[in-house]
Amino acid sequence: MVEVKWTRMEDGTKEEFEYLMTVEEEYNADLVDRILDQLKQLDVDWGGYKINRYQHSLQSATRAHRDGASDEMVVAALLHDIGDIIAPYNHSELAAAMLKPYVSDKIHWIIENHGIFQGYYFHHHLGGDRNARDRFKDHQWYDDCVHFCYNYDQNSFDPDYDTLPISFFEPMVRKVFAQPKGHMEVSE
């Protein structure tokens, strides 16, 4: 079968959908390469910062690794700002959605909410509420997100920090993305 016969999904057969899942899995074999290519698109001068978002991402992951974080957390730290490319106003949610099939619920929640928690360090300078994160004060992973932002994110703009290269993290990314939940298990 080269392609399905239908133009509306409701007309598809079991065999056609099984075939499509095979085709998609073949395409998904290159997913990590596409993710790393997307991450490398952050390697541009955004202006104003001492380092760019790509260097920030590597530095965040380096700090997580040196802190003894799990591979999932290190990869999440590496990819936490990947959404800045196409979703600058909700980058946290985009990164979290990308990671969801591959990481724990805890890490997904941390990445999804890190933008709100990160605001603690600068929102008050711009007329916003630095304590917006406090609406999550009773959440089981509140302290974990505070830890993520304090230890891996807000302090990772240092051009003199001994940051590890992407080649160090690539095997971790491949490992984490090798275990997806799959189409049927991903929920909203």
- pTM for this model (two decimals): 0.91
In a domain, 2, yes or no: no
Residue 139 resides in a domain: yes
What is the span of the domain harbouring residue 20?
A: 12-176
Positions in the chain short of pLDDT 50: 184, 186-188
CA distance 8 to 173: 36
159 in a domain, yes or no? yes
- pLDDT score recorded for residue 166: 98
Q: What is the DSSP letter of 187?
A: -
- Tokens 């700090």, residue located: 63
The token duo for 101 is 């099939």
What pLDDT was estimated at residue 181? 65
Residue 182 forms part of a structural domain: no
Instruction: Specify if 111 maps to a domain.
Output: yes
pLDDT number for residue 187: 47
- CATH code at position 119: 1.10.3210.10
**132 three-class SS:** helix
Q: Which of 94, 98, 81, 89 is nearest to 40 (CA)?
A: 81
Which helix (DSSP H) or strand (DSSP E) does residue 26 occupy?
A: helix 14-28
20 within some domain: yes
- The string of pLDDT tens digits covering residues 88-114 is 999 999 999 999 999 999 999 999 999
Check residue 186 and give its pLDDT. Answer: 46
Is 68 inside a domain boundary?
yes
- Residue 181 is assigned to a structural domain of this protein: no
Give the Å distances, CA to CA, from 167 to 28, 102, 132, 175, 176. Answer: 21, 20, 36, 13, 15
Count of domains for the chain: 1
